[in-house]
Amino acid sequence: MNLILLGINHRTAPLELREKLAGGLQDAAAGYQRIKSVSGLQEVLLYSTCNRIEVLFTTPDPPATLPQVQTFLLNLAEVSSADLEKGLYIYQEGEAVQHLFRVASGLDSMVVGEPQILGQVKEAYRQATQQHATGAILNRLLHKTFSVAKRIRSETGIGCQAVSVSYAAVELARKIFGSLTDKTALLVGAGEMAELAVEHLKRYGVSQIVVANRTLERALKLAQRFGGEAISLAELEHQLLKIDILISSTGATEQILTREQVKRVMRLRKQQPLFLIDIAVPRDLDPAINTLDNVYLYNIDDLQGIIAVNIRYRQQEAVKAERIIASEVLKFLQWRESLAVYPTIIALQEKADHICRNELKKTLNQLGPLTPEQIKSLEVLTQSITHKLLHDPILYMKRNHHPKDPSREIDYIRRLFNLDRER
């Protein structure tokens, strides 16, 4: 059985092509129904994210099955075979395993170490099992994939250090305050950046969230989602009296908070520290605010510098992750190789049991009438002798995972025990 992975991703194909193919896989059940009709295909897993569309499958006949799987991808959308082939990559055996491990661990992601991809692969596997599309090999491989990704998360720092602007802003606040559990955060703007920032703030236990936006309705929607309070921009200066952290990300073309406004507030706050992060371009906050005592203002360039350092750190950690993956790929391939000996082990046990039953029957005929207990004792005796005689040969086959020529080794064992003639 051969293991093959093919697909396209953000490095090999443009967004337009990825969008078209991903659109064709929106209905997972229909997708599995079509691909399971491919002749020669034994097990299959389909997964698509915003950055990749991949098919992982097993087949005993790659030359016949592979073109059919490519046709399946072509039929997902109106794309030319030339466009698809230009971005298509195909991995087999160890390379396919390595690629899957790298994808699930976030090493093949646009942002190295991003954690969402593991959840996406798990969801794809859940769908595949619902459609009864996986078997012994892919089940084992996917469970191994999840454990490898978990090991990499726990043994390397690949998921540490913020590499998004919103996350970096919250990380910076954590470094300044130590803990955010008793802090109040004000988000100015209710767009995607603000939404991401709220998610990170809530994860770190900020006690209260306030959202200010030019359109109050949008502020209300975001605040309600996270159990916060919504205010209008006109209330911004007054709100500064109550907060510890301000993260601003509006699309305004002019500054929404000046140095004089913050200066007035600081007198009323009795110089209690105020942490401001301006991730808007153009900037929302007057840069001169940073000259005030006990006011800490950071802009997007400050965060980009932090992110660049963090990305370099993750890249260093990726080297450790690659080493773990190489080791785990080897273990999985060893397991695959061990599968080849099991038919021979089963044939050997069946032959031994057959001989045992026949010889016992002859012996019982010669001995004459025996009690059921005596017959049972003889059965146990013959089975015990058989199992002990086979113990060492079977153990040898299971442990000898790396013969120079596996096929020749198995053939030798089968001839030694005359297994094929007996069949």
Q: What are phi and psi of 89, to 5 degrees?
A: -120, 150
Q: What is the rounded radius of gyration, in angstroms, for the C-alpha atoms of the chain?
A: 32
Give dist(CA 254, CA 315) in Å, integer: 38
Q: Is the pLDDT of residue 22 over 70?
A: yes
Task: Pick 307 or 260 by higher pLDDT.
Answer: 260
pLDDT-derived band at 78 (thresholds 50, 70, 90) equals confident
**Residue 241: helix, strand or coil by DSSP?**
coil
CA atoms within 13 A on the CB side of 196: 16
Catalytic residue check, 160:
no
Q: Is the pLDDT of residue 69 over 90?
A: yes
Give dist(CA 329, CA 172) in Å, integer: 38
Q: Is the pLDDT of residue 408 over 80?
A: no
2-16, 55-69, 108-122, 248-262 — which is least confidently predicted? 108-122
- The distance of Cα 324 from the centroid of its chain, to the nearest Å, equals 15
Edge to edge, the sheet with strand 43-48 lists 43-48, 52-59, 2-9, 89-92
pLDDT at 402: 61
ω into 282 cis (within 30 of 0) = yes
Task: Report which of 129, 226, 128 is spatially closest to residue 185, judged by C-alpha positions.
Answer: 226
325-351 average pLDDT score: 86
DSSP letter at 395 equals H
pTM over 0.95: no
pLDDT at 334: 81
**Residue 117: helix, strand or coil by DSSP?**
helix
Give dist(CA 59, CA 93) in Å, integer: 11
Give dist(CA 187, CA 223) in Å, integer: 10
Q: Is 152:324 a contact under the CB 8 Å cutoff?
A: yes
Given the residues 15, 30, 50, 355, the one annotated as active site: 50
Task: Report which of 126, 147, 131, 122 is spatially closest to residue 35, judged by C-alpha positions.
Answer: 131
pLDDT at 193: 81
pLDDT at 400: 67
Alpha helices in 131-279 (DSSP H): 136-155, 165-177, 192-203, 216-225, 236-239, 259-268
pLDDT at 347: 87
> DSSP states of 339-362 as a string?
HTTHHHHHHHHHHHHHHHHHHHHH
64-78, 125-139, 160-174 — which is least confidently predicted? 160-174
pLDDT at 367: 84
19-28, 377-386, 409-418 — which is least confidently predicted? 409-418
DSSP letter at 289 equals G
pLDDT-derived band at 243 (thresholds 50, 70, 90) equals very high
Q: Is the pLDDT of residue 422 over 50?
A: no
pLDDT at 423: 42
267-282 average pLDDT score: 90
pLDDT-derived band at 403 (thresholds 50, 70, 90) equals low
Report the residue count for the chain.
423
Terminal alpha carbon distance of the chain:
23
Q: Is the pLDDT of residue 164 over 90?
A: no
Q: Is the pLDDT of residue 55 over 60?
A: yes
Mean pLDDT computed over every residue of the chain: 89
